[in-house]
Homo-oligomer: A and B are copies of this chain.
Amino acid sequence: MNIYDISEKAGVSIATVSRVLNGATNVSEKTKQKVLAVIEQYEYTPNAFARGLGLNTMNTIGVMCADSSDLYLAKAIYYIEQKLRANGYDSILCCTGYDLAAKIKAMNLLITKKVDGIILVGSNFIYDRESDNKYIIDAAAQVPVMLLNAAFESPNVYSIVSDDFTSIHDATVEMIRSGVEDIVYFYNSNSYSGKRKLAGYRAAMEEHGLLYDERLMQFYQGSHEDIAAMTAHLTALRDTGFSFHGLIAADDNLAIAAVKYAKKHNLSIPDDFSVIGYNNSLLSCCSDPEITSIDNKLETLCQHLITTLLGVLGGNEMPKITVFNGELVTRGTTRATTPQG
């Protein structure tokens, strides 16, 4: 059943059917109803490929992320998909893994599939070496590229970020004010966002003259699901004789490990040991005590990302970089701040 069949049965031309299909106004109500009736009767739906061929678009957005099973990324994908669909766009999902070559391959594939735009979810798509980011510039030459949680200046590239620097900075200051001075920063990523967080920690500690040892910054290299390995990492640090009574984690998984570490060594939380996580995910409520965590307003970021993308697709001038503030959600792993005075 195609547009010719319908036009024949309705006794009109294919152009008229096409007009009805696309909601053009210059069709008489009578003809319109006649055509709609036939369409309904035969349950006709237009062929998406043919339509794509003519319009050179299929209202589809490519969504790339390293690992959709990561709690945070999964949530981002969820919001993005919902909001795209609400605006008549489909999303083709590509889970690329963390390898650059795979990302480039996925990117080319999406371009070949003629997506109308590409969304890169997560900050691991931006690399230190300028040349490693060429694939983004190339893609942006064809379609708009949106970055969630990473900033990259280039034509046709739009970035939506949470102010990770300030979030971690302020959280660190908060913990210092609560009376903890030997605060370890525990992280597992050197992505764009990862660097900003680390910088926020460094700045806060330096302002208070507390960045006395490189060991305060602990990099965990391993699976983001292997809580046991993270806990072991901290125990190993303790075993070197290094002392710390607070920990700020770049991620709730790491914070969970910190809580486990404290329990293992009978450190009372938050009296002997304070913990702050990041993402304010489900995990922060799973532990006991529940974890104070930084909420980076993921849904807001996603909403704004889609709005910006739709604006760009609609031919409007849109901001190249948009920054939102995070918020510290206080729970049981931190002490009250000592009043200033």
- Interface flag for A316 (CB, 8 Å): no
Given contacts A53-B49, A74-B68, A287-B286, contact A95 B114 (CB under 8 A): no
- Interface flag for A45 (CB, 8 Å): yes
**Central interface residue in A63, A75, A90, by most chain B CB within 10 Å:** A90
Given contacts A286-B287, A288-B288, contact A95 B113 (CB under 8 A): no
Copies of the protein in its oligomer: 2
Say which residue of B45, B47, B111, B253 sits within 8 Å of A53 (CB atoms).
B47
Say which residue of B47, B60, B92, B259 sits within 8 Å of A114 (CB atoms).
B47
- CB nearest to A79 among chain B residues: B69
- Interface flag for A112 (CB, 8 Å): yes
A49 touches B45 (CB 8 A): no
- CB nearest to A114 among chain B residues: B48
Which residues of chain B have C-beta atoms less than 8 A from A114's C-beta? 47-49
A48 touches B112 (CB 8 A): yes
- Interface flag for A337 (CB, 8 Å): no
Which residues of chain B have C-beta atoms less than 8 A from A50's C-beta? 49, 53
- Interface flag for A98 (CB, 8 Å): no
> What is the bound-complex CA distance between A108 and B106, given in angstroms?
27
> What is the bound-complex CA distance between A59 and B109, given in angstroms?
12
B53 touches A81 (CB 8 A): no
Which residues of chain B have C-beta atoms less than 8 A from A63's C-beta? 93
Given contacts A49-B56, A68-B77, A114-B48, contact A283 B286 (CB under 8 A): yes
8 additional contacts, CB 8 Å, given A47-B53, A85-B95?
A49-B56, A50-B53, A52-B52, A77-B93, A85-B106, A90-B113, A253-B282, A287-B287
| 186-239 of chain A: CB within 8 A of chain B | 225, 227-228
Which residues of chain B have C-beta atoms less than 8 A from A91's C-beta? 92-93
Which residues of chain B have C-beta atoms less than 8 A from A287's C-beta? 286-288
- Interface flag for A327 (CB, 8 Å): no
- Interface flag for A101 (CB, 8 Å): no
- Interface flag for A19 (CB, 8 Å): no
Given contacts A90-B113, A92-B91, A285-B228, contact A68 B58 (CB under 8 A): no
| 239-256 of chain A: CB within 8 A of chain B | 253, 256
